[in-house]
Amino acid sequence: MTEKIIRHVLAEFAYQAPKIERGYANQTLYVNVATGEIKAKPVSEEMKFKFTGGKGFDLWLLWNAVNDNTKWNSPENEIVISSGPCGGTTQYPGSGKSLVTTISPTTEVITDSNAGGHFGPLLKFSGWDAIEVQGIAERDVVVIVDAIAGKVTVEELPDAPTDTHLLGAWLYDVLAEKPHEKYYIAMVSAGTGADHSLLGCLNFSLYDRKRQDVRYKQAARGGPGTVLRHKRIKALVVRAKPFRGDANHPADPERIARVGADMQHEVATWDPVQNRMRNRGTPYLVGIMSDYDLLPVNNFKFGSHPKAHDINGAYWETRLTQGLPDGCWYGCTIACAHAVDGFELQTGPYKGQRVIVDGPEYETIGAVGSTCGIFDADAILELNFYCDTYGIDTISYGNTIGFLMECYEAGILDLEKTGGLELTFGNAAASLEILHQVAQGEGLGRLAGLGIRKAKAYLIEHFEADPQFVQDIGMENKGMEYSMYMGKESLAQQGGYALTNKGPQHDEAWLIFMDQVNNQLPTFEDKAEALHYFPMWRTWFGLCGFCKLPWNDVVDPKNSKSAEPAKIPHHVQNYVDIFAAVTGREIDINDIIAMSERVYNLQRVFNIRLGKGLREHDYPPYRGVGPVTEEEYESRQERYDKQLREWLGLDPDAMTLQEKMAAHRKYRTERYEHLMDAVYERRGWTRNGVPTVEKLKALGIGFPEVLAVVEKHLQVEG
Amino acid sequence: MITLNKRERLEWQEGLTVQALLERKTFTYPHIVISINGIVIDHDAYAETLIPDEADVRVIHLIAGG
């Protein structure tokens, strides 16, 4: 760049990056953007053993940083980011994830979210296993971890844009003294949408060497971007030194290479005839979900739509740029992180610009697309781009718009209340207009930016909405909007969504095929076991820096002959090997579950400490359980009537529609209560969902301050 | 009648093939294993494999947990 860049350094901390040993830098970085305090914190052997890394480190640092009364916008709340000991591995696919944890503005408890991109691994290779950022700055700042200069700074950069696609291009130019240095820069940012809404996401950057441009992956759930911008942070940046493929300095690099080579071969062999992730990415799911009545349509009223095949995997294979490495993290042959290049924006402040649209992912297509009744690929791309650059979670945004569309069609909203927007299902122009309003903090965008839970309260208070109706149709639990799968016919998935720590994101368990289609979980005990094992297994990915996709989105068919095909034992063994080879710590699957249980239970106790995390917070909206409206019942009348006969021994021909709906509601809600009991028991919790003292002690996290939280509740329960 | 995945009872008709059953159920997920009365059917044989009346058919979709 030729012009003079103004950089006011507000705080500076000199350091020398330690050598990474067996996946750990053995220190974490603390930055307070209010006071300018920057310091290193040592990582003990006990911390590594008990919390592993990633979300485990995040939670432990956050637990010690806040108090019982901390809210999402309190100065002591933190953004904490960590990859994990295996993060940065380049020989095994999907080994570059970062985990971010904070107190959420929408759920008001702990939220965690993961993303690809290069930030977490480059942070570690720059000498830090995690970064925790506390305080609220007086003016907009950028935090820069500069391993080349050997310093961490908090800087004011007055010329820095806010929206991510502009900020990334600008910052990379500012910080790279030579073009190739861009390869080793990564940043975390949000945008103007996060300034004005509670749905803020974080964009994790990567520098795409082929495109010679910056791209982004999103950690979006629970509003971490809102927390970042509330702290007046425009970006967290790491400027790393060039590194080699063995930068983790693993204990046994040959073992990693052997396991990695086997897996890379498996991906190359089977992905082309299975999900075609390397060509389609996660959008391969759109048509399939519609075929199985699992694709949310019109605010989760319906599960399929004829137009779904206009935006299915085959379509996206023609639309996504082919033949470029995805760059999400080095060495990942799954390569699901696709993009549409040269997309010309049709609306908003960047109208006419040709941009890279990262994705769209399946979840985004479902959220800003089908659940809003939108099946127009260009509209989905435009919504995707603007959500990302504004720093808004596509899932929460789309789901909230779908909810508001149903409110409009039900008469709760009208043209006057929407500012003249005809907010019917399928109106993509209206959704885009509201999205731009969110970024400006104007009009209906202010309501949409609250997310569904707080929007419901507003509609009840100001527009006389029926509380029961909006509670039934608002697809949120704990304050988080549902991700994009219909769970009405899968009791296990209803639990997979609502019996979670952070809220209804499918990253704990996706059990629909096992339960609804395969009938492999026929009893409450079977479902409870699945709702113990899979959330623990998947939690572990987030402790280590792994992506979930290589576990089960491409699998050698020989797996079907294994003892437990659902668990994919030969991939589990791969992870056992990789973890042991990186850290030098030999483990087995029981150790993996125990490692996750410690962190999972700590998160549950953390939620209780913050005033939630109990049974009363684990109920789904009825739209996620059964038919709310007559229209829904009638759309699947044959199925529902058959269920009345077979499940309840009733004669639907002798019942009114209202009686049939009431019978379903009673039966389905009672089964969910039984599921809660079974799951809590399996997890070692009380009927109120509180981890017992014995459980916490057995896990090795019976610290006095942890036990003190649960003991108050256990005394009440008796 | 045939039984699908130990739960659903479906009408049987003469000449019912595995491929026809998949189409009837819109089972389009590409990674599945099918057995008839305990015998696994090769993927290449779906179109010509006949399902007998009263068969115990399992169509297991191999994605689970996540």
- B28 and A274 within 8 Å at the Cβ level: the answer is no
Q: Residue B20 is part of which domain span? A: 2-61
Q: Which residues does chain A have within 8 Å of residue B60's beta carbon, measured at their own beta carbons? A: 518, 520, 560, 565
Peptide bond into A242 cis (omega under 30): no
pLDDT at A198: 98
Inter-CA distances, A290 with A317, A344, A671, B29, Å: 18, 29, 26, 11
A516 DSSP assignment: I
Q: Which residues does chain B have within 8 Å of residue A551's beta carbon, measured at their own beta carbons? A: 66
Q: Is the pLDDT of residue B12 over 80?
A: yes
- B65 and A559 within 8 Å at the Cβ level: the answer is no
- A288 and B28 within 8 Å at the Cβ level: the answer is yes
How far apart are the C-alpha atoms of A147 and A151, rounded to whole Å?
6
Q: Which residues does chain A have within 8 Å of residue B58's beta carbon, measured at their own beta carbons? A: 518
User: Within 10 A of A630 (CB to CB), how many other CB atoms are there?
Assistant: 12
How far apart are the C-alpha atoms of A535 and A601, rounded to whole Å?
11
Does the residue B6 lie in any domain?
yes
How many Cα atoms occupy the beta-carbon half-sphere of B63 within 13 Å? 20
How far apart are the C-alpha atoms of A653 and A520, rounded to whole Å?
31
pLDDT, mean over chain A = 96
pLDDT at A612: 97
pLDDT tens digits for range A314-345:
999 999 999 887 889 999 998 888 999 999 99
User: Within 10 A of A53 (CB to CB), how many other CB atoms are there?
Assistant: 30
How far apart are the C-alpha atoms of A661 and A154, rounded to whole Å?
58
pLDDT at A553: 86
- A292 and B63 within 8 Å at the Cβ level: the answer is no
| Best mutation target, B28, B33, B44, B62, to test chain A (most A CBs within 10 A) | B62
Q: Is the pLDDT of residue A80 over 80?
A: yes
- A513 and B29 within 8 Å at the Cβ level: the answer is yes
- B65 and A520 within 8 Å at the Cβ level: the answer is no
From the list B27, B58, B66, the residue facing A534 with the nearest CB is B66
How far apart are the C-alpha atoms of A273 and A282, rounded to whole Å?
15
Does the residue B66 lie in any domain?
no
pLDDT tens digits for range A571-621:
999 999 999 999 999 999 999 999 999 999 999 999 999 999 999 999 999
Identify whether the C-beta of residue A624 lies closer than 8 Å to the C-beta of residue A497.
Answer: yes
Q: Is A277 on the interface with B (CB under 8 A)?
A: no
- B62 and A559 within 8 Å at the Cβ level: the answer is yes
Does the residue B12 lie in any domain?
yes
- By DSSP bridging, strand A354-358 and strand A339-344 are antiparallel
Q: Supply A538's token pair.
A: 């998947």
φ, ψ of residue A680 in degrees (nearest 5): -60, -45
Identify whether the C-beta of residue B63 lies closer than 8 Å to the C-beta of residue A513.
Answer: yes
pLDDT tens digits for range A37-50:
999 999 999 999 99
| Amino acid making up residue A437 | Q
pLDDT at B64: 59
Residues of B with CB under 8 A from a CB of A: 5-7, 26-31, 33, 40, 58-66
Nearest to A644 by CA among A635, A70, A653: A653
Q: Is the pLDDT of residue A171 over 70?
A: yes
Residue entry with tokens 């003292």: A693
Torsion sign over Cα A490, A499, A622, A220:
negative
Query: How is A664-692 classified by DSSP, letter by letter?
Result: HHHHHHHHHHHHHHHHHHHHTB-TTSPBP
Q: Is A538 on the interface with B (CB under 8 A)?
A: yes
By CB atoms closer than 10 A (0-12, 13-18, 19+), residue A241 is middle
Nearest to A215 by CA among A266, A141, A164, A276: A164
| A274: confidence class by pLDDT, cuts 50, 70, 90 | confident
Q: Which helix or strand (DSSP H or E) is residue A235 part of?
A: strand A233-239
Q: Is the pLDDT of residue A3 over 70?
A: no
| Best mutation target, A271, A294, A497, A519, to test chain B (most B CBs within 10 A) | A519
- A551 and B28 within 8 Å at the Cβ level: the answer is no
Query: How is A537-606 classified by DSSP, letter by letter?
Result: HHHHHHHHT--SHHHHSS--GGGGGSS-GGG-HHHHHHHHHHHHHHHS----HHHHHHHHHHHHHHHHHH
Q: Supply A290's token pair.
A: 């519609």
- B64 and A548 within 8 Å at the Cβ level: the answer is no
Map out the domains of chain A with their CATH numbers.
8-239 (3.60.9.10), 282-319+338-481 (1.10.569.10), 491-619+682-717 (1.10.599.10), 626-681 (no CATH)
The mean per-residue pLDDT over the stretch B34-47 comes to 94
pLDDT tens digits for range A218-232:
999 999 999 999 999
Q: Is A511 on the interface with B (CB under 8 A)?
A: yes
Does the residue B48 lie in any domain?
yes
Task: Give Rg (Cα) of chain B.
Answer: 11
By CB atoms closer than 10 A (0-12, 13-18, 19+), residue A34 is middle
Q: Which residues does chain A have within 8 Å of residue B23's beta carbon, measured at their own beta carbons? A: none
Q: Is A292 on the interface with B (CB under 8 A)?
A: yes
Q: Residues A25-28: contacts with CB within 8 Å, 24+ apart? A: A25/A124, A25/A127, A25/A128, A25/A129, A26/A129, A27/A127, A27/A128, A27/A129, A28/A57, A28/A61, A28/A82, A28/A128, A28/A129, A28/A130, A28/A131, A28/A132
Q: Supply A688's token pair.
A: 């109120």
Q: Is A566 on the interface with B (CB under 8 A)?
A: yes
Torsion sign over Cα A567, A570, A574, A579:
positive
pLDDT at A323: 87
- A567 and B65 within 8 Å at the Cβ level: the answer is yes
Does the residue B40 lie in any domain?
yes
pLDDT at A362: 95
Does the residue B19 lie in any domain?
yes
Domain total in chain B:
1
A242 DSSP assignment: P
Question: Distance, in angstroms, between B6 CA and closest chain A CA?
Answer: 7
- A538 and B6 within 8 Å at the Cβ level: the answer is no
CA A71 to centroid of chain Cα atoms? 21
The mean per-residue pLDDT over the stretch B40-66 comes to 89
The mean per-residue pLDDT over the stretch A410-436 comes to 98
Does the residue B18 lie in any domain?
yes
How far apart are the C-alpha atoms of A598 and A593, rounded to whole Å?
9
Q: A87 or A552: which carries more pLDDT confidence? A: A87
Q: What is the CATH number of the domain that holds B21?
A: 3.10.20.30
Nearest to A329 by CA among A85, A113, A116, A579: A116
- A509 and B28 within 8 Å at the Cβ level: the answer is no
Nearest to A618 by CA among A492, A466, A472, A501: A501
Identify whether the C-beta of residue A117 lies closer than 8 Å to the C-beta of residue A205.
Answer: yes
Q: Which residues does chain B have within 8 Å of residue A288's beta carbon, measured at their own beta carbons? A: 28-29
Mutual angle of helices A704-717 and A589-609, in 10-degree steps: 70
From the list B7, B26, B64, the residue facing A519 with the nearest CB is B7
- A560 and B60 within 8 Å at the Cβ level: the answer is yes
How far apart are the C-alpha atoms of A155 and A139, rounded to whole Å?
10
Q: Which residues does chain A have within 8 Å of residue B3's beta carbon, measured at their own beta carbons? A: none
How far apart are the C-alpha atoms of A86 and A450, rounded to whole Å?
36
pLDDT tens digits for range A477-524:
999 999 999 999 999 999 999 999 999 998 898 999 999 999 999 999
Question: Distance, in angstroms, between A509 CA and closest chain B CA?
Answer: 5
Report the SS3 class of residue A634.
helix
Does the residue B46 lie in any domain?
yes
| A142: confidence class by pLDDT, cuts 50, 70, 90 | very high
How far apart are the C-alpha atoms of A397 and A449, rounded to whole Å?
8
The mean per-residue pLDDT over the stretch A88-97 comes to 96
Query: Would you mind telling me the total number of residues written for chain A in this entry?
Result: 718
